[in-house]
Structure formats: structure tokens, C-alpha cells
Amino acid sequence: MATKSICLYFQVHQPTRLRLYRFFDIGKDSHYYDDFANRTILRRVAQKCYLPMNQLMLELINKNKGKFKIAYSISGSALDQFQRFCPEVIDSFKALAATGRVEFLAETYYHSLASLASESEFRHQVQKHAARIEELFGVKPTAFRNTELIYSNGIGEMVYDLGYKTMLTEGARHIMGWQSPNFVYTGETQPQLKLLLRNYSLSDDIAFRFSNKGWDMWPLTAEKYVNWMKDSAKEGDIVNLFMDYETFGEHQSADSGIFDFMRALPDAVIKDGTFSFVTPSEATKKYKPVAGIDVEDPISWADEERDLTAWLGNELQSEAYKKVYAMTEKLAIVNDPELYNDFGHLQESDHFYYMCTKFFSDGEVHKYFNPYDTPYEAFINYMNVISDFQIRLDEKRAALDVKETAVQELKIPARTVRGKVAKKK
């Protein structure tokens, strides 16, 4: 058996896009979502990516009899949309789960930035997501990936406390320095938490550069790629290839040959013999960690900076973020399932991403994913929705007519009740 490994993990997420929500709608109409756009986009991506790629993965897993393994993290927001608009996608993921060769990771249900804002909200969303994954795919997740691979020492500690011993993050250059991402590491302040670090160069060769004909390495073949992985892992145990699932068929179109590349990759890897495929939880069992990684300020897998500036980089974003998380306490008192549902969707990191004003180095990517013409429109629309949400929250709060002294007592039971409700589903 090969001593080195490849860990393939795909991120599946679709945001719940907001409709054009005007000042005149505030207090009158509390439906916030653009159902038409969400349905249209989801069905398009399902046809171009999720369904054909799931089919291909299933074939490859069956063909290679246990030698090909992959991992997915599917956000709750994406699962909700699959269920509403395209349930056959869920069935195809269930078929993949049934092979036993696929690991499903835990994440925040709403693909949110809760890990940065509120520990209680973060715990709640992680638990809600894990329960949903177990309900759908029959396995309780054991490895965790945070929204956009956001990680810091503090987040690592929270994740470990939630019962996860494996976590995925970015092999950010400014953190790693001379160290290679091709080993298993641990958290600096929580040495029991094992970390898998994305090999961004090899991951981006597939995710960003694959179809670029101006790239001096174009076209990329499976054999060429295996050689690159061997070069990279000369000193190392594992190559972590983490990328958006929408890379296949959506960001890189089918006629770029991306599906053929993926079809050929397992054969090329197995024939070469240097690597075997592992899932994240297997990887951290197989290899001993080599060192701790100290991350004081959160890192992520986004943009050149690999930091949080794509979501919280300007004053518009921080204002929206502060306003939405300022409501957590009141929401706990009110404890209303409808409000919690909207609150969850309003936390999706994508809403903050749309307000990003970094138009230069990574502007292309931002524009591609953005339903708004300008970050200002995104901000205005979002704040109008938040204003309506605040009104609903305040009305419910007033209706409760709970005295200020009772607030503290109520807070804890509210959380517990909610946890139970989520699990029962």
C-alpha cells in the first residue's frame, strides 16, 4: 500500500439570494428571497455540475472498489434548496453515501460567519448541520470545515469542544512560511485538534487554471498532474486538494475537458502507485502531526490575502455584520422558528461578499459570483431586509412582554429548547 495520500474534498454551497427589497417594502412584506433566481440558478448548476459529477464520482468509486475516496461538505442552505427545487440531487448524494467511500463533513448550517461573531450561534448551527447530514446520509460527521476554510486558534478550540478532532483549513503562505502544507498539523492552543491544510497551488491548478489557454502548462493531463503531486509531496505525507464542487461543469465548463480529467485521475494515481486516496478523518488517523500551527488572526481560502477582507473588509460589511449579530440575544428570548430560519439565511457569508469593494486583484471572481451591479446596491438591499427583520423581531419581543429581570433566566432554556427542535427534525 502506498505510504503517501491524496485527500480530495469538494465544497457544495448555494446562497439564498435576496430579492430586490425596497424601502417601501419594510414592515409590509417579509418575504426576502428571490425564489425565481435561486431556482433557476440551482437547476442550471444541477444540470451542469451536481448531477453529472455525482454520476461520475459514483462510477469511479464503484469501478475502483474502495481505492477511490472523496469527501463533501454540503451547506444547509444548499440542502434546503436541493430539497425545494431539485430533490434528485439529494438522491444522488445519498447514492454516493451508500458506497461507504464518501465522507461528509460538518460545517455551519447557513455557510455563515458565526464562528467570528457568536459562539452560541456557531455551536447551534454546527449541531443543526450535523443532525441534518446524519438524517440524510446516515453518518454523523467527524471532521469539520468552517465557512470558506476560516480558521484561527480560537475557532479551533470551539470546534474541538464540539467534538471534532479533524479540521480543514487553508495552507496560507503567510502562516506556513517555509513549512509544507503536505503534512498533518495540530492547533497551537488545542493540540488535540488535527489540521489538514489545503495545497492551494495544486488545488487552484484544477479549480482556477484548468481551462486557461494562456497558462503555460495548458492543457493539464492526469499524468502531468500526478507528477506535480509527486514533486510537491517529495517531503510530505499528504496532498490536500480542496475546492468548490462547482468547479466541475460550472466554473470550468464541460467542454474544457474537466470531466475527462477527473475520470482519468484515479487511474493515473493508482497506476503510478505513489499515492492512495483517503478521506479527511482517515488522513488524521493515518499520519502523525508534525507541528502546531499558530493562527492568531483568522485565515480563509479566499483571494490573494487569504484573510477575511472579502466579507469584512470595508465599513459597509462591518456595519451589516454588526447589525445582524446584535440581534442574537433578542432572538434567543423570542425563540421563534420562522425568525430563526430567516436569521440563518441572512447570515450566509455570500451577502457580505456581495458588498466587497476590492475590485482589483480578485475583482473578476467577485463579479462572477455577484447578483448585484455594485456593492452599494448589495448593502442597501441587505440593510432594508435587516430593518424589516428587526421590526418583526421587536414586535414579537414586545408581544412576549417579558420583564427585563427575566431575560437572563430565559436565555439558557431558549437555547436548549431550540437545540431539541432542530434535532427532532
Partner 1 sequence: MRVLMFGWEFPPHIAGGLGTACEGIVKGLAYNGVETLFVMPSASGDEDQSATTIINASDVPVDTVSETVEEYLDKVKFIHIGSNMIPYANPEEFGKLIEEEKRRQVKDFSISYGQKYKFSGKYGANLMEEVARYAMVGGTIAMQRKDEFDVIHAHDWLCYYAGIAAKELTGKPLVIHVHATSFDRGSVDNIDTRVFAIEKKGMEMADRVVTVSDLTRNIVITRYGIDPAKVVTVHNAVDFSGRENMHVERGVKEPVVTFLGRITYQKGPEYFIEAAAKVLKRTKNVRFVMAGSGDMMNRAIHHAARLGISDRFHFTGFLRGADVQKMFALSDVYIMPSISEPFGISPLEAMRTGVPSIISKQSGAAEVLKYAFKVDFWDVDAMADDIYALLSYPALADFSARMGYDEVNALKWNGACAKLKKVYESVVK
- Measured from the CB atom, the residue of 23 and 218 that comes closer to partner 1 is 23
Point out which residues bind partner 1 (CB under 8 A): 22-29, 314-316, 318-320, 322-323, 374, 376, 379-380, 383-384, 386-388, 390-391
Active site residue 148: yes
Asked if 108 and 345 touch (Cβ cutoff 8 Å), the reply is no
Least distance to partner 1, CB of residue 372, Å: 12
* Residue carrying C-alpha cell 437547476: 43
Backbone angles phi, psi at 292, to 5 degrees: -95, 150
Per-residue b or e along 58-97, where b marks 16 or more CB atoms closer than 10 Å to that residue's CB? bebbeebeebbbbbbbbbbbbbbbbeebbeebbebbeebb
Least distance to partner 1, CB of residue 390, Å: 6
Q: Cα(317)–Cα(197) distance, rounded to whole angstroms?
A: 28
Asked if 69 and 277 touch (Cβ cutoff 8 Å), the reply is yes
Which residue in the list 103, 107, 121, 148 is annotated as catalytic? Answer: 148
Asked if 143 and 167 touch (Cβ cutoff 8 Å), the reply is yes
- Measured from the CB atom, the residue of 21 and 287 that comes closer to partner 1 is 21
**What is the grid cell recorded at 11?**
465544497
- Measured from the CB atom, the residue of 28 and 213 that comes closer to partner 1 is 28
Least distance to partner 1, CB of residue 329, Å: 16
Residue 408: which residues within 8 A CB-CB, separation 6 or more? none
- Measured from the CB atom, the residue of 283 and 327 that comes closer to partner 1 is 327
SS3 of 329, please? helix
Least distance to partner 1, CB of residue 325, Å: 12
- Measured from the CB atom, the residue of 304 and 315 that comes closer to partner 1 is 315
Least distance to partner 1, CB of residue 31, Å: 13
Least distance to partner 1, CB of residue 394, Å: 9
- Measured from the CB atom, the residue of 27 and 138 that comes closer to partner 1 is 27
Query: Helices (DSSP H) in 50-194: which residue ranges?
Result: 51-63, 76-85, 87-98, 114-117, 119-137, 153-161, 173-176
Residue 170: which residues within 8 A CB-CB, separation 6 or more? 149, 151, 197, 198, 200, 299, 300, 301, 306
Q: How many alpha carbons lie under 13 Å from residue 321 in its C-beta half-sphere?
A: 25
Q: Cα(196)–Cα(301) distance, rounded to whole angstroms?
A: 13
Active site members: 148
